[in-house]
Amino acid sequence: MGNTFGKLFRIATWGESHGAGIGVVIDGCPPGIPIAAEEIQAELDRRRPGQSSITTQRQEPDRVEILSGIFEGKTLGTPIALLVRNMDARSKDYEHLKDLYRPSHADYTYGAKYGTPNLPGGGRASARETIGRVAAGAIARKILALWAGVEMVAYVKRIHTLEAKVDPGTVQRAEVERTPVRCPDPEAARAMVERIEEMRRQGDSVGGVIELAIRGVPPGLGEPVFDRLEADLGKAMLSLPATKGFEVGSGFEGTRLTGSRHNDPFYAEAGRVRTRANRSGGIQGGISNGEDILCRIAFKPTATINLEQQTISTSGEPVTLRARGRHDPCVLPRAVPMVEAMAALVFLDHLLRFRAQCGWQPRQPEQPVAAPAAPASARSGSKPSPAGAPPARADLEE
Ligand SMILES: Cc1cc2nc3c(=O)[nH]c(=O)nc-3n(C[C@H](O)[C@H](O)[C@H](O)COP(=O)(O)O)c2cc1C
């Protein structure tokens, strides 16, 4: 079944949109990690519905309850269970959708597979399912920051036809959070908000592209051949609802270049192997090369719209549908924390796998997050890399 994700840091999400609650069980979390409920809550607040005029107006506080696996602010190493109760489900708003198939939603396919009726609010196909991922992602993200200084920033790059100018090498989360659309280019953000509001007024919807930059990733993450880093990242992103595409590095545009223009030339810098360009998007041969990881995820326009559409009832009769209820006119602003959470889950899982197979060591608590300085070999006490493995970031840091 497809409700579990990850090999060593493994999550199982559960729950439906209008059930009693939604949650996650995390197995394989290392013990002794300091994590406060507020840190998990902060990520859930970024995902929450009703947070601005351009999201769905469903009002859910989405307060996280820690049921197990964390004691006195530290992980125990035992399964962590997190619960968020559904408080504002209004199933009667979905009565008119009960006996028909919404175009491009999951009503028909869930029924065809499970033989179940349409569940109010989309059941498990609802984006509420991602609460569990975002909560688990907050813990994964904390470990990545503590152990390896990894930071990840996702932002809205494009809404419909409006594209932002953003430098993925320097963009900070605070800039992303400054606008309700989560686009760090203020001018583009203003136009995007207007476009989404216009769509809402018209009863229509729009999609777009989220870009994700991950910085400070040590070289060596990724498990060829089937669990190449980009393959696992692609799966993680395409498992989010409403996604339609995934690119890493130069992506589809890169195919317009010749090899001589496309290759990333190597150079050595302070004992570190670097590349002058980053069309690889930080991944070569399915393994991180230490450069920033860059990817883009396409999200389609929201399926449920307040305009007349032709469809059929569950018994096959033609129906004209004009959907009501509370819906996101554009899913991207709320999908930003979901993208970051999925990336955190993938990177922590791969970091744990790198540690298990090649002996990568987490940074010690007293070590600063500083960028690598001197060559590992020039410093006393630095351990050689495991045979065949590239030098681990921990070996390169003070
Ligand atoms: C943040 C977010 C919010 C969403 N909100 C809605 C919504 O309000 N209405 C809707 O029809 N779909 C919404 N979706 C998309 C549906 O969950 C999704 O289209 C549906 O499950 C069908 O899956 P598919 O589009 O991947 O084929 C949302 C998706 C995300 C990521």
pLDDT of residue 375: 40
Q: Would you say the CB of residue 303 lies under 6 angstroms from ligand 1?
A: yes
A 10 A CB-CB count for 282 gives: 26
Query: Where residue 381 sits, what CATH number does that domain have?
Result: 3.60.150.10
Distance 169 CA to ligand 1 centre (A): 30
pLDDT digits (tens, 9 = 90+) for 280-329: 999 999 999 999 999 999 999 999 999 999 999 999 999 999 998 788 99
Q: How many domains does the chain have?
A: 1
Q: How confident is the model at residue 368 (pLDDT cuts 50, 70, 90)?
A: low
pLDDT digits (tens, 9 = 90+) for 108-138: 999 999 999 899 888 999 999 999 999 999 9
Where helices occur in the chain by DSSP H, the ranges are 37-47, 107-114, 130-148, 173-177, 186-202, 229-238, 259-262, 332-358, 393-396
Q: Would you say the CB of residue 35 lies under 6 angstroms from ligand 1?
A: no
Return the residue whose CA atom lies nearest to atom 15 of ligand 1.
242
Distance 317 CA to ligand 1 centre (A): 25
pLDDT digits (tens, 9 = 90+) for 40-51: 999 999 999 988
Q: Would you say the CB of residue 327 lies under 6 angstroms from ligand 1?
A: yes
Boundaries of domain holding 16: 4-396
Q: Would you say the CB of residue 200 lies under 6 angstroms from ligand 1?
A: no
Point out the ligand 1 atom lying closest to the alpha carbon of residue 125. 21
Q: Would you say the CB of residue 126 lies under 6 angstroms from ligand 1?
A: yes
Q: Would you say the CB of residue 125 lies under 6 angstroms from ligand 1?
A: yes
Region 92-115: mean pLDDT is: 92
Output the six-digit token pair for 112.
């065809």
State the pTM of this model. Answer: 0.92
Q: Would you say the CB of residue 242 lies under 6 angstroms from ligand 1?
A: yes
